[in-house]
Structure 1
Amino acid sequence: VGMDQTHERKMSFEGAEGRPAPPTSLPLQGQGGVASQRKKLSAPPISLSLDQSEDDLFDTPDDLDINVDDLDTPDEADYTDHEIDWEEPQASQRDSAKEAVEPIPTYSAQEERQDSKLWRTVIIGEQEHRINMKSLEPYQKVISHGGYYGNGANAIIVFAACFLPDSDREDYHEIMENLFLYVISTLELMVAEDYMIVYLNGATPHRRMPGLNWLKRCYQMIDRRLRKNLKSFIIVHPSWFIRTILAITKPFISSKFSSKIKYVNSLAELEELIPMEYVHIPECIIRSATCLTYKCMAIYLRHCSVQYKSKRRKHQGTDQLHT
């Protein structure tokens, strides 16, 4: 009977719709078993009719209907601050841009000339160097041109150590580096043929004495032509420090350079060697030399007085013996 009822339902559905009716329940267990142990889940009715319209296909339940007007959307103030304006910026933005960006300063012709004087570009050993001339203003007198000697353009280069900076300065190494470049570049400009260097050591305290490494570097960085054309290196008023340094470094100095070194103890002795017409002697060295001359004169007079007294005593003793 059950089979006949099922068959009749199938035939009735096929006759009505042309297709078998979908099942209305899902068995969770096998076909065999007690009917009370079966659990059935009800499925929603599914319509497979081809006669449905497009409106029926796209109908959504009431709980899924969304009203666009009820949605929360950001206000204009929420995104206008971050919106990129591809057109002309606002007035406030233009004002802030003007305050942030400073205009490029324009130099006058005089200011450009003054700025160019603060830096000098030199080429030493095929390398380009820049010299801070502003920091060397108090020390540019350390090297000067003292005229010429003999026949031709034989230059006299005067190096005054009294104009060197104090070694206790914080920027001492920076100044000496710029001064080193300044001395080498100036020497190349002053010298055309043979030349001599007059090193004025008088009135120079120990704190202003150049280091041995600095002097050695100066000599090594001098162009080979300048080293070859150096004919004499005169040291005026040499101190025990200078003599000691040269004595220690003599084994490491070439014999040619050692033969060019001469010691001069006074300006009068220097005047006998070179023309002094264009040689600039600093006032501190002149005062020091004058004081040194007075001291030498005092020592000489004291020595003469001692010798006179000793001779007088001898004569007095001889006279008493004769008497």
Structure 2
Amino acid sequence: MLQKDIVASPDKWIEAIENTIQVIGKPDVCMPCCPSDTIFNMGLPARLPGRELDDDALYQFVETIYFEEDEYQKIYNMGWQEWYGKYLMEIQKPPMTSPAQLGAFYQQMGENTGKIAKYIYSKGMVTAFDGATGPIFDSLSMIRSMAEFTCDMYENPGPIMDIIHRDQPKVDEQAIGLCKAHHGTKVTSFAMRSSATFVSPSMFEEYIWPELKASILRFAQAGITYILHADANWLPMLPYFNELPKGCCHIELDGATDIEKAYDILRGSQSIRGDVPSTMFAYGTPDEVAAYCEKLVNMGMKGGFMLSSGCEIPLNAKVENVKAMIDVLRG
């Protein structure tokens, strides 16, 4: 199956999952959204297979300096949710020309997710999450571009934090409402710019953690588990998560964080998921994958651990290596 077709059609995505299960075996948990919706939800301009890329290439995100520093005041005046919707419309190819188009796209995404979730549950699996959200801090970092946003935070963080303090609760409440409307119990948050790879621990403590902690608690109070998609190195940030009520946050690690040290730091206060590296799937051997997975399973025998890939399984993964991960838990 070509990437072009899988990206274009939720039905092709379901077919791809079915084909994969037949080859590698059935996992316990599966992503409930198709690639086209994942691409949209990332909130960055994208290059797609069959459009800018070869038909069987992996889609790519393009990070550019989308706005200048004076835009923060405009965002505050308009409100984050309205501004972000306008931004999403502008970066599509072709751009959307009316809010009705955006609304129709969101409705279609909901239908796609429902169809995929129904398939997943029919196979005896569960969805990895029931809804998706993200911190405004991380979205602004990607839209403004990392270097410029980091300078903004050092030179004049006030306008940025004004937006976050006022509008992050609104974003959270909207995500909670959507999740509860569909009887969901878990929401993934893509906090991909809050790690030590991108910010200093002192910046995290002053600017990021208070709002991130407040968000996690809002979801917890609503009975919803907050799944933190923690790309890059989160090791210096993990001690803060021990401040949270036990079990309200599930942290997905991608291989850049030392998962054994992470497990020791959290001591079961929050659960973690991970973290077979992409490089091992692509360039390792089945024996290497199996040994790594067995080490992680032994580490997690006290509880609070889910074995998975570190972030995504790469397009060039060896089938036998992916099967080796599944077989460790099926043997």
TM-score (ref. length: structure 1): 0.32
Query: Given the two structures, how large is their TM-score scaled by the length of structure 2?
Result: 0.32
Higher helix content, 1 or 2: 2
> Rg bigger for which structure?
1
Identify which of structures 1 and 2 has the higher relative contact order when contacts are C-alpha pairs closer than 8 Å and 6+ apart.
2
